[in-house]
Amino acid sequence: MARIRVPNTRLRALIEETDWTQGGLARAVNAVAAEAGTVLRYDRTTVAHWLAGSHPMPRVQPLACEALSRRCGRVITAEEAGFVSQDSVAFAQLASRDADGLVGLLHELSGSVPYRPARTRPASRAPATGPPSGAARTPSTRNSASLFFTRTLQSQGGGFARGTLRTYLAEAVAGQLRGARGQARQERYAEASQLALVLGRMYADDLRNGEAQHCYLRARELAVTAGNRELTVIALRTLSSQAYGLGHLRIADEVARAAVRTARDAPRAVRAFAQAQLAVTAAGRGERKDALRALSEAESGVGPVGPEEAGRHPFESYARADFEFQRGEALMALREAAEAVPAFEYALAARTPDDRRGAALTRLRLADVLLPLGRVDETRALERELANDGDDLRSAAVTQRKQDLRRSLSRFSGGPRAS
């Protein structure tokens, strides 16, 4: 017997509330899916089927709920949308787990996990942590797993060793968290926070922003539990960078300011890391004076360029190449493209030889700036450099942007790539 479908009156009411057409909802779901690294090509007929009583696939339901939540300005559950789903229940459980739920987090990072801007938004006050972390409470970074996986991300891309890091977190780190006490507990939580941040960056590099956001939020929780101010700042700043990259400027700016407030008593390099992001978000909001002031404050905490750069731990220093990249982003947001070019060129020159991913992304961003300025030959030269040293990176972010660059160059005579 054929199943009788019941029209979804709850979804119809929500569509009326949002003042969307059926096609409008379909496009919004496609956009949320893209943020989660999933390609959907829904149109009005898809939504018409939902209204008639069919349900979206389980992996799509949280994406549709997120699209509706953004439009309505409140959380829309699968039940309220007339869907049958376990995903929303799992998500609620994920948000309420304590730090010892690291294994549960890893098990749930699969499928299409939506990026949720509202979760990134900071509390009305900056998160409270203990006094600034000293060397006694900082994980042993010189030979730590976080250094190894960060270097792997830089040299190979986010898709290279992500499974290995997940296994290490689930089988080694989670067990250490459960049994740790006293100072050892703070050290283990701090190390777990670092590793969760690196895992999030790996997911983000694979354009899986929902999973990356989950990791960043868990990293912030672990840092607060450890009483580690530096890592709390780094997690907030990373959440801000992600929100900015996905176009959520207001939230990105709020989180950047929370990071700066939290960093007041942190080491100079951590304060610089937070200020550099504030420069970008302030520039994006048209606040030129604030952006330039933040850049000036950030530069005072940037490490020197030299042979010792490769030996510094990324969680203990702020590299000149990364700062110059941020300077270029801030100048671009201020619509000063010509001034941004030297910053991106300096960033590229300052990259360490092992930071192949960073160099590729810098070349791509520099190409984005040069091409609209009519500097086509220089752009083609950058594309050749990308082909010579970057085609083997396992980075979806690099791959996608290289494809975008080829399409942009194809509009000029001579084809997409100069020989």
Q: Is the pTM of this model over 0.85?
A: no
What integer pLDDT is reported at residue 55 of this predicted model?
84
Contact 38, 111 (CB under 8 A): no
Packed helices 356-370 and 376-388: angle between N→C axes, nearest 10 degrees? 160
Residue ranges of alpha helices (H) inside 102-208 are 102-108, 117-120, 145-156, 162-168, 174-179, 182-205
**CA–CA distance, 219 with 120 (Å, rounded to integer):** 12
pLDDT: is 110 or 25 the higher one? 25
Contacts of 351 (CB under 8 A, 6+ apart): 321, 358, 359, 362
- pLDDT category at 35 given cuts 50, 70, 90 is confident
Which of 297, 300, 301, 298 lies closest to 316 in space, CA to CA?
301
Q: Is the pLDDT of residue 244 over 80?
A: yes
Contact 409, 379 (CB under 8 A): yes
pLDDT: is 25 or 72 the higher one? 25
Can you read off the two tokens belonging to residue 282? 């302030």
- pLDDT category at 106 given cuts 50, 70, 90 is low
Packed helices 9-18 and 61-72: angle between N→C axes, nearest 10 degrees? 40
Sequence length of the chain is 419
Which of 85, 84, 82 lies closest to 8 in space, CA to CA?
82
What integer pLDDT is reported at residue 98 of this predicted model?
41
Residue showing tokens 């530069």: 299
Contact 282, 290 (CB under 8 A): yes
Backbone angles phi, psi at 369, to 5 degrees: -85, -40
**CA–CA distance, 243 with 344 (Å, rounded to integer):** 21
Contact 127, 262 (CB under 8 A): yes
pLDDT digits (tens, 9 = 90+) for 317-370: 999 999 999 999 999 999 999 999 999 999 999 999 999 999 999 999 999 999
What integer pLDDT is reported at residue 66 of this predicted model?
87
pLDDT digits (tens, 9 = 90+) for 129-144: 555 444 434 554 445 8
What integer pLDDT is reported at residue 413 of this predicted model?
61
Q: Long-range pairs for 75-78 at CB < 8 Å and ≥24 separation?
A: 75/118, 76/14
Residue 359, amino acid: A
Residue showing tokens 């694979």: 206
Query: In 202-225, which positions are buried (b, 16+ CB within 10 angstroms) versus exposed (e)?
Result: bbbbbbbbbbbbbbbbbbbbbbbb
**CA–CA distance, 112 with 268 (Å, rounded to integer):** 38
What integer pLDDT is reported at residue 87 of this predicted model?
42
Which of 273, 268, 293 lies closest to 283 in space, CA to CA?
293
What integer pLDDT is reported at residue 91 of this predicted model?
41
pLDDT: is 337 or 415 the higher one? 337
- pLDDT category at 197 given cuts 50, 70, 90 is very high
Residue showing tokens 């929100």: 243
Q: Is the pLDDT of residue 207 over 90?
A: yes
pLDDT: is 184 or 406 the higher one? 406
Can you read off the two tokens belonging to residue 279? 């420069």
Half-sphere exposure of 329 (CA within 13 A, CB side): 23
Query: In 231-268, which positions are buried (b, 16+ CB within 10 angstroms) versus exposed (e)?
Result: bbbbbbbbbbbbbbebebeebbbbbbbbbbebbeebbb
Can you read off the two tokens belonging to residue 370? 């040069």
Q: Is the pLDDT of residue 90 over 60?
A: no
**CA–CA distance, 224 with 128 (Å, rounded to integer):** 7
What ranges do the domains of the chain cover? 9-83, 97-121+135-227
Can you read off the two tokens belonging to residue 369? 């700036």
Contact 241, 206 (CB under 8 A): no
25-29, 312-316, 382-386, range with the lowest pLDDT: 312-316
What integer pLDDT is reported at residue 134 of this predicted model?
45
Check residue 389 and report its DSSP letter.
S
Q: Is the pLDDT of residue 89 over 90?
A: no
Q: Is the pLDDT of residue 235 over 80?
A: yes
**CA–CA distance, 344 with 341 (Å, rounded to integer):** 5
Q: Residues of the chain with pLDDT > 70: what percent?
A: 83
- pLDDT category at 414 given cuts 50, 70, 90 is low
Mean residue pLDDT across the chain: 85
Question: Which range is most confident: 4-8, 110-114, 277-281?
Answer: 277-281
pLDDT: is 246 or 104 the higher one? 246
What integer pLDDT is reported at residue 77 of this predicted model?
83
Q: Residues of the chain with pLDDT > 90: what percent?
A: 56
**CA–CA distance, 70 with 338 (Å, rounded to integer):** 36
Backbone angles phi, psi at 374, to 5 degrees: 85, 10
